Amino acid sequence: MDDRSISYEPIGEISTPFDRAEGMPIQPSVAAETTGVVEFDPEYAPALRDLDGFSHCILLYHFHASDADADLTVTPFLDATEHGLFSTRAPRRPNSIGISVVAVDDVDDATLTVTGIDVLDGTPLLDVKPFVPEFDVPDRTESGWIAAAADGDGREYADDRFV
């Protein structure tokens, strides 16, 4: 039998003003003015070198407060219609991995200060990557059902449905 287990160790923790999911912005664009602090384990401080030259970075983190039992179809915050889980940004997923693109404000030793954070306080950080528009923004894009969701719920802040 094939062993398909994978494990990760957090490399730091994200501190934010959000101590519960309800009322929290659902995407970084909604939290544009919200500041967060990422405290890296001290041994990762050298890995932050030169990150301050980028306007944005990508945070990969563990949804530590989300139930891991994911439904394969969900009614997301932005719509009143049920969609396949993988066509949404719902936090309850088969692997509790989250991603946010945030603005880099400051890098000081093992501390990264960011703006546009949309995660719960105490979220374990798994990785950071620089956001590079030439690599990360395709020439042609489509937003699927989200483009037509203007008639749906249109919620920009979380409720209790994915906790």
pLDDT value at residue 21: 76
Mean pLDDT within 19-31: 70
Domain count, the chain: 1
| Nearest to 11, CA basis, from 129, 128, 131 | 128
Q: What is the per-residue pLDDT across 67-98, written as a single tens digit (0 to 9) for each?
A: 667 788 988 777 788 988 888 877 788 888 99
Which range among 27-36, 52-61, 77-86 has the greatest average pLDDT?
52-61
Q: What's residue 40's pLDDT?
A: 98
Q: Which residue has the higher pLDDT, 81 or 51?
A: 51
Structural domain boundaries enclosing 24: 12-133+141-151
Domain of 119, CATH number, reads: 2.40.30.70
Task: Please report whether residue 23 resides in a domain.
Answer: yes
Give the CA distances from residue 137 to residues 82, 94, 163, in Å, rounded to whole numbers and listed in that order. Answer: 27, 26, 31
